[in-house]
Amino acid sequence: MPNERHYNNELNLESVGINQPFNMQAEQSVLGAVLLKPDTLTDLVEIIKPEMFYTRQNAQIWSEMLRLFTNDQTIDFVTLLDAVISDGVFPSADEAKVYLTGLAETVPSISNVKAYAQIVQEKYLVRQLMDVAKDILQDAGDEPDADLLLENAEQRIYEIRSGRDSSALTPLSSSMVETLTNLQKISGPDADKYKGIPTGFRLLDTVLTGLGRGDLIILAARPGMGKTTLALNIADRVAQVDPVLFVSLEMDDEQLTAKRISRETGISSEKLLMQPLNDRENAQVAAATRKLASLSLYTNKAPVATVGDISALARSIAGLRLVVVDYFGKIAPPADFRRSGRVEYTTENSGALKDLARSLKIPVLALCQLNREVEARVDKRPQLSDLRDTGALEQDADGVIFLYREDYYAEPGTVNPDIPSMMEVNLAKNRHGRVGKCDMAFSLASSRVTSVSKGRKNAAVDDPFPQTTIKGA
């Protein structure tokens, strides 16, 4: 049995009396289980990465197994032995034979292989935490800015918690196996768990095919066009089934709650916040409040937040399905970018939001406020070029949605806020497929968004004032 130091450990923690934990029997049992029953590998690929093994040889054996699987080659004693000998994993063929034979004899029970894999993963994560702790102590000794030190520490720990080791390399074989496994899941009985997350609006989902897992989606428009209202409608529909984090950096909880109650009751949010209600209206508000209280939706308390703060909130919510940020321009710069220009820190923030989406494997819907340059054009519909002053936001985004309402530019006093108006929803960028548009009905007074009925484009909508709006368009 090899007794070498962990190949990926650059910090000599043993010199200060700290031994890095590992479980050799668990590692060998994982390898032995796959050797005896190759189909087991598909259940382990999302749990185990090569770098999680303590010894270089175990990691290389796992990589060879992944390569054989990806190339549709049989995994057995003969093929694996040939692979490890060809790649020089062992000093000699005899040592390779002895070690692989021992792997097959090590496995207590193939049916418990996931438990063995979790032990391997846990030991790896502890080793990563030990390395980070050492780095934090070293950084603290240099007396850096406290906010910067805290933010860097949170980010490092967050990366570990998310299962993302920025120092480790992932072989193509591992990615291929993950992709094949996910494709099988999409076609399986639990497909809904792995497909894009529905917004709850049929027409919008037809264009979007749902909010992609791991995607950064930008919802952009001029102020007052309906971004927050649409985002609230989407968030609440998703929150009927799964947890949602709604980070508002512009409106407080009272304002957002008023919008939600307005949507449910038809009472304007202005009246809810500023005017007394009659008995009937109070009863409507009470019923709406009880209904909304059942949503699995979480909001931020602090009015200022960095992407690191948003990440911390997101990872604290078990089973989180969606993150909404209202809005992108209000996200505070990271500590080490506070003296940088707007383009520099917004570029950093957009990349960090994309990383958050990928690491948590959930969509992040970020609202973006377009500048006045839009209104200088004859055709005031937003374009991708309107995002150019937001750093790398357009490049980082997997999808970009623009909102446009013709009556937004109407003369004051000529539009009745109680009558739903047409809102054009334009998917202008889609990294995964086609782009397209759909029309929706927007009610400014009651904060409602509904789907437009086919063939009745001129202000006719499917149930423009439904009693229950968050259960379907």
Cβ-Cβ contacts under 8 Å for 412 (sequence gap 6 or more): none
Q: Which residues pair with 48 in a beta bridge?
A: none
Average pLDDT rounded to a whole number, residues 301-327? 87
User: What pLDDT, on the 0 to 100 scale, is given for residue 348?
Assistant: 85
Over 80: is that where the pLDDT of 178 sits? no
CA separation for the pair 457, 124 (Å, rounded):
58
Nearest-angstrom CA–CA distance, 56 and 52: 10
Whether this prediction's pTM lies above 0.75 is answered by no
Residues identified as active-site: 250
- Dump pLDDT digits (tens) for 380-395: 899 888 887 776 888 8
Lowest mean pLDDT among 30-44, 91-105, 140-154, 182-196: 182-196
pLDDT at position 1, please?
A: 45
pLDDT of residue 469: 35
Helix, strand or coil, per DSSP, at residue 439: strand
Residue 352: name the closest of 340, 366, 371, 367 by CA: 366
Most confident of 17-21, 189-193, 239-243, 447-451: 239-243
What is the mean pLDDT of the segment spanning 179-183? 55
Count Cβ atoms below 10 Å from residue 191 Cβ, excluding itself. 10
- Could you tell me the pLDDT band of residue 466, with boundaries at 50, 70 and 90? very low
Give the span between the Cα atoms of 218 and 406, in whole angstroms.
21
CA 447/CA 255 separation, integer angstroms: 11
Placement of tokens 């700290």 in the chain: 18
Residues 296 and 241: their CA atoms lie apart, in Å, by 7
Least confident of 9-13, 20-24, 42-46, 426-430: 9-13
Residues 105-159: tens digit of each pLDDT: 888 888 888 899 999 988 998 888 888 887 777 777 666 667 667 767 776 776 6
Number of H helices, E strands in the chain: 16, 9
For residues 428 and 445, what is the distance between their CA atoms, to the nearest angstrom? Answer: 28
Q: What pLDDT score does 47 carry?
A: 79
In CATH, which of 2.70.98.60, 1.10.860.10, 1.10.287.610, 3.40.50.300 is domain 13-186?
Answer: 1.10.860.10
Which residues does 46 contact at the CB level (< 8 Å), separation at least 6?
A: 178, 181
Cα dihedral 325, 329, 330, 334 in deg (nearest 10): 100
Q: How many whole angstroms separate alpha carbon 406 and alpha carbon 226?
A: 12
* Superfamily the domain 196-451 falls into: P-loop containing nucleotide triphosphate hydrolases (3.40.50.300)
DSSP character at residue 15: G
Yes or no: say if 133 and 126 are a contact pair by the CB < 8 Å rule: no
Q: What residues have CB less than 8 Å from 197, skipping those under 6 apart? A: 210, 211, 213, 238, 242, 321, 322, 362, 363
Is 196 or 381 the better-scoring residue by pLDDT? 381
Domain residue extents for the chain: 13-186, 196-451
Distance CA 93, CA 79 (A): 13
Which DSSP category does 122 fall into? H
Q: Residue 59 above 50 pLDDT?
A: yes
CA 374 to chain centre: 30
For helices 279-292 and 253-265, what crossing angle results, to 10°? Answer: 110
- Annotate 152-164 with DSSP letters as a single string: HHHHHHHHHHTT-
Segment 172-195 shows an average pLDDT of 54
Q: What is the pLDDT of residues 7-28, one digit of tens each?
A: 444 445 555 566 788 999 999 9
Q: What is the mean pLDDT of residues 186-213?
A: 72
Encode pLDDT of 259-286 as tens digits: 888 888 888 877 888 888 888 888 988 9
Which burial class, exposed, middle or buried, applies to 26 when counting CB atoms under 10 A from its CB (0-12, 13-18, 19+)? buried
Determine if the peptide bond prior to 99 is cis (ω within 30°): no
Rg (CA), the chain: 27
* CA–CA distance, 251 with 342 (Å, rounded to integer): 22
pLDDT score at 230? 92
185, pLDDT greater than 70:
no
| Per-residue pLDDT at 54 exceeds 80 | yes
Phi and psi at residue 332, to the nearest 5°: -70, 150
| Mean pLDDT across 433-461 | 71
Helix (H) or strand (E) holding 182: helix 172-186
Going by their DSSP bridges, the two strands 216-221 and 364-369 should be labelled as parallel
Q: What is the mean pLDDT of residues 84-107?
A: 90
- Given its phi and psi angles, is residue 304 left (phi above 0), alpha (psi -120 to 50 degrees) or beta? beta
CA 392 to CA 90: how far, in whole Å? 46
pLDDT higher than 90, residue 366: yes
Q: In what order do the strands lie in the sheet with 448-451?
A: 297-299, 244-248, 322-326, 364-369, 216-221, 399-404, 421-430, 436-443, 448-451
What percent of the chain has pLDDT above 70? 80
Q: What CA–CA distances, in Å, run from 295 to 235, 236, 243, 244?
A: 10, 7, 8, 9
The confidence score (pLDDT) of residue 235 equals 93
More confident: 216 or 144: 216
Band (322; pLDDT cuts 50, 70, 90): very high
Q: Regarding predicted confidence, which is higher, 36 or 420?
A: 36
Q: Is 272 left (phi over 0), alpha (psi -120 to 50) or beta?
A: alpha
Tell me the mean pLDDT in the region 206-222: 88
Higher pLDDT, 3 or 447: 447
Name the residue with higher pLDDT: 135 or 318. 318
